[in-house]
Amino acid sequence: MPVNILMPALSPTMEKGNLAKWLKKEGDKIKAGDVIAEIETDKATMEVEAVDEGTLGKIVIAEGTPDVPVNQIIAVLLEEGEDKSAIDSPKSLSAAPEKKTARLEEMPASNAMATSTPTATVPKQASPTNGKGPGGVFASPLARRLAKQSSIDLSRIRGSGPHGRIIARDIGALDGGATMRAPKVPSTVARLTEITAGMPDEKVRALFAEDSYDFLPHDSMRKTIAKRLMESKLTIPHYYVTMDCEIDELLNAREEINSSTPKTADGKPRFKLSVNDFVIKALALALIKVPDANVSWLESGMLRHKHADVGVAVAIPGGLITPIIRHAEEKTLGVISNEMRDLVARARNRKLKPNEYEGGSSAVSNLGMYGVQNFTAVINPPHATILAVGTGEQRAIARNGKPTVATIMTVTLSCDHRAVDGAIGAELLAAFKGYIQKPVGLLA
């Protein structure tokens, strides 16, 4: 029986994707491991890889088609001995719940520094009689892994996959896995969003002569950024704490370390530290020191994170993305520097994997390189904080009752007041300042 290939959910929050390119054409033989298509999400281009063998009998969704919903049929795979006569009409393809179905589930999380191209696989279809694993539960390998990580009993879950199979999204639907998907916006907030959306397009256009502007349609990234930032400001009660940090010792340490960095075989330094590398490590250590700030808000409770996974806002063409340094508190400055260089390069080519930019416990937004003295940043859920970093500049200060000049960097911490009370936010920022002003503590 032909196998329907569905639009994959390449991350837990993905609802739609663009079918950018087919790498196989109708009639092509497909082997396990063949890359069959490229899918664009709002922030990355992903490759999908087949594990079933057969013939690509019909392409249902043409390449270049935008906003294809997750789980919509995109192609049909013919098994050995079948021909095109076995394929239903396009109308029946859009329904056909009784047909065998190959789901393209999201990639399992992997090492954040893996350099291979992200892929999603087409698992082999299993029937209710032969797909049961340990305990007699009919579930995908990814669902089993996620359930084990979250200590969830699979036997109490009703699967939404083919023939009742438990898949990854079923784990995310439980209260215990609520962080796997973006929170739903309450209807009252949705109405607020509509009210605050501004004037309708046609009224804005009417204010300007037709030949006085160029119209630039929003791409999926810009739409997603707008939606999430609006939801953040409408649903998260932000408050802000600001401190000035003296960074002369940090700058001296950075210069000394960079001048003595070991060289590779071709004579290049193994790493080159930036001020931002120190900021990432200092924030990570501060989050571990103040665990009540290293949290994510859930309606049912709080997640207190055991490690500091720090995101860093990176400007890319058309928007921004926040790749994450995992377990940043455990890594040396050199490792953080090299990871950031790799993540930034792949982010700008839209080659990051979802697990490299989703999640995390806090983030850094640094506009110091643009000469910005201070600013406030918008929290990116599921984070409860974000640190806005300004430029380092020489200012006159009083020290021991005498005027002197020091290099000062102003930082502002945005906090989610539901999760981080004012005193905790101030404690976190004070801990950060302590590490930044005495950078010897960052060199371990």
Name the residues annotated as catalytic: 417
Q: Quote the CA–CA distance of 302 and 292 in Å, as a whole number.
A: 10
Token pair 């929290």 in the structure block, residue: 379
Q: d(Cα 385, Cα 419) in Å, to the nearest integer?
A: 9
Q: How many CB atoms lie within 10 A of CB 362?
A: 29
What Rg value do the Cα atoms of the chain yield, rounded? 25
Distance, in Å, from the CA atom of 27 to the CA atom of 93, rounded to the nearest integer, reads 18
- Indicate the residue type of 52: D
**What sign results for the dihedral spanned by CA atoms 96, 100, 104, 107?**
positive
Among candidates 323, 324, 335, 328, which has minimal Cα distance to 284? Answer: 328
Cβ neighbours for 4, distance < 8 A, ≥ 6 positions apart:
73, 75, 76, 77, 93, 96, 99, 100, 101, 102
* Cα–Cα dist 373/368, whole Å: 7
- State the Cα–Cα distance between residues 101 and 71, nearest whole angstrom: 10
- Helices 248-259 and 275-289: crossing angle, nearest 10°? 120
Nearest in space to 33 (alpha carbons), one of 20, 45, 48, 43: 48
- 405 phi and psi, to 5 degrees? -115, 135
Return left, alpha or beta for 170; rule: phi > 0 is left, psi -120 to 50 is alpha, else beta. Answer: alpha
Is 300 within 8 Å of 178 (Cβ atoms)?
yes
Beta strands in 137-256 (DSSP E): 238-246
Side-chain-side CA neighbours of residue 113 (13 Å) = 13
Between CA 210 and CA 380 the distance in angstroms is 37
**Burial zone of 341 (CB within 10 Å; 0-12 exposed, 13-18 middle, 19+ buried):** middle
DSSP state for residue 24 in the 8-state scheme: S
Distance (Å, whole) CA 4 – CA 122: 11
